[in-house]
Chains A and B, each alone.
Chain A
Amino acid sequence: MPALLEARGLRAGYGPPDVLHGIDFTVEEGGVTALLGANGAGKSTTLRALCGMIRRAGQITLGGARIERAATEEIVRRGVGHVPDGRGTFLELTVEENLRLGAYTRRDRAGVAADMERMFGYFPRLKERYRQQAGTLSGGEQQMLAIARALLVKPRLLLLDEPSFGLAPLIVREIFHILRRINAEERTSILVVEQNASLALDLADHAFLLETGRIVVSGTASAIRQDETVRRSYLGY
């Protein structure tokens, strides 16, 4: 499969010191890639760097075009949906407004309306809470809203930062099930950051492991799952 996203020698950070020390990875077209690592390894930083939210250097290619100098909104317009750390919900706005913001870059009204309906297919609860203020949603509902909002960008690549964070196992299973459907039905490629490695490896076909800003292991999901040392030292199961 061809690479949709390719990072070469990616460095990034918040102040002068680098948090990412030159990492290389790819996300394949139509695939799901998992990004694993301990707390503070730089997983969220990687996603932020891809979206141009922080200082970065190196090469990032999306569908053949270089994006390492593009502004965040430009990268989004090129087809990257990002469900950030903390979900990034507009708490003061309604569910409807949050979803409309997801579709802000799009001019195809009919397409947006159809996509909105599809989102309600995936997440019926959002339809029930359509006019409710987003800040009043439960954590699981907010995660659904964040995913739906990112999907309404009509992204080629969906970046997910710990979609399971703070949610009950049942909800987590539901959300991962929906992510699998989205990947299959929308042909959206996914790069997912997860603490819950077993869950992420179930969903992913490729994975890589980050340790203090460097990639230490990468490979297919099943290979990584098999790898005894990786399992014991990094994944903890």
Chain B
Amino acid sequence: MIGLLHQISSGIASGAIYASVSLALVMIYQATHHVNFAQGEMATLSTFVALTLIHAGVPFWGAFVITVVLSFGLGVAVERVLMRPVMNAPVLTSVGVFIGLLLIINALDGWIFGFTIKSFPSPFHSAHPLLGGLVSPHELGETGLTVVVLTLVWLFFRFTPLGLAMRAAAHNPSSARLCGINVSRMLGLGWGLAAAIGAAAGIMVAPVVFLDPNMMSGILLYAFAGALLGGIDSPLGAVIGGFVVGVLENIFGAYIVGTELKLTVALIIIVAVLLVKPAGLLGRAVQVRV
């Protein structure tokens, strides 16, 4: 029983990370109907930047904030330079461009920061065991921080005029323009925000999985599974899907398929969702083109 509880709580901890990346993916999908395959690599790059800052003597939270802000800029830049020209191009073009970006960032990470696996400091420490030793301080802190980030994002979209405008631009760009909204600026902001969320997730997961250029590839896969499970056009669904995938991954890994096959769980979830409920839990019905 304690074992199961432990699996669930650490599933929630990794689910928080997946939820963040799922949300980043879905935000972009909703606005552009393209999937940013480089979302994970962008987050890895951000995490390397954070580590460099920390090694240069910047305090952890200072490095965190600086990195998130820089990542926001990176997201905006990627939208301007790469996304905009392929906005209305066929899916193949955008897939090609974002896979290209994935390759470039991955290689540059290795080139600049090295291919060796690096440990990453955690800001969360505790002298006492937490919740009866059920969770590590980092798990608890990481989950808490991620939940705070996700809540802030939700508040932003739900209650600020800018957040509303971004949602409007994603749902219905031409109507948004008729309300005086600069849609292309909203898209840039959306990419910036997605990259910032990804950066926070990268920094939070790095102490657990350690940092190397491929750190996010598995996480991106779980995030895809989470996004599809929740509904690829539903941000709330993505967050829920991310948490569910985290818990499922841990339980399946511990009791059914073994930890060696954890990534396969993501594949199984994806195939199962597409078979059973392609729209996901909260998504709108997908047009089935049979």
Contacts and interface: CB of A to CB of B under 8 A. Distances in A.
Interface stretch (A2-10, A70-78, A113-121, A177-185): A70-78
A104 B185 CA distance: 15
A90 B178 contact: no
Given A76-B179, A104-B179, A84 B174 contact: yes
Nearest to B172: A90
B262 interface: no
Contacts of B34: none
Interface in B160-183: 161, 164-165, 167-168, 171-172, 174-183
Given A88-B175, A89-B175, A76 B180 contact: yes
Given A72-B178, A84-B178, A100-B161, 7 more contacts: A76-B180, A88-B174, A91-B172, A101-B179, A104-B179, A104-B181, A153-B180
Given A100-B164, A101-B164, A104-B165, A93 B171 contact: yes
A101 B177 contact: no
The 6 closest A-B pairs by CB, nearest first: A105-B180, A88-B175, A76-B180, A72-B177, A101-B179, A73-B180
Contacts of B174: 53, 84, 88
Interface in B166-214: 167-168, 171-172, 174-183
Contacts of A81: 178
A104 B161 CA distance: 7
Interface residues of A, number: 25
A149 interface: yes
Interface string A187-219: 000000000000000000000000000000000
A56 interface: no
A186 interface: no
Interface centre among B165, B172, B174, B177 (most CB of A within 10 A): B177
A72 B177 CA distance: 6
Interface string B137-179: 0000000000000000000000001001101100110111111
Contacts of A93: 164, 167-168, 171
A70 B164 CA distance: 24
Given A100-B161, A100-B164, A76 B171 contact: no
| Among A51, A84, A104: residue with most chain B CB under 10 A | A104
Contacts of B177: 53, 71-73, 76
A81 B181 CA distance: 13
A92 interface: yes
A100 B178 CA distance: 13
B164 A92 contact: no
7 contacts: A51-B178, A73-B181, A81-B178, A84-B175, A88-B178, A92-B167, A102-B179
B118 to A, nearest CB: 43
A143 to B, nearest CB: 14
A104 B171 CA distance: 16
Given A97-B164, A100-B164, A104-B165, A92 B171 contact: yes
A82 interface: yes
B175 A90 contact: yes
A101 B171 contact: no
A155 to B, nearest CB: 10
Contacts of B175: 84, 88-90
B179 A149 contact: yes
A102 B171 CA distance: 15
A105 B177 CA distance: 11
B182 A101 contact: no
Contacts of A72: 177-178
Contact of B178 (A76, A91, A92, A97): A76
Contacts of A76: 177-180
Contacts of B183: 73
Interface string B193-237: 000000000000000000000000000000000000000000000
A92 B182 CA distance: 20
A129 B142 CA distance: 41
Interface in A130-164: 149-150, 153
Nearest to A92: B171
A208 to B, nearest CB: 23
B232 to A, nearest CB: 15
A104 B178 contact: no
Contacts of B164: 93, 97, 100-101, 104
Contacts of B165: 101, 104
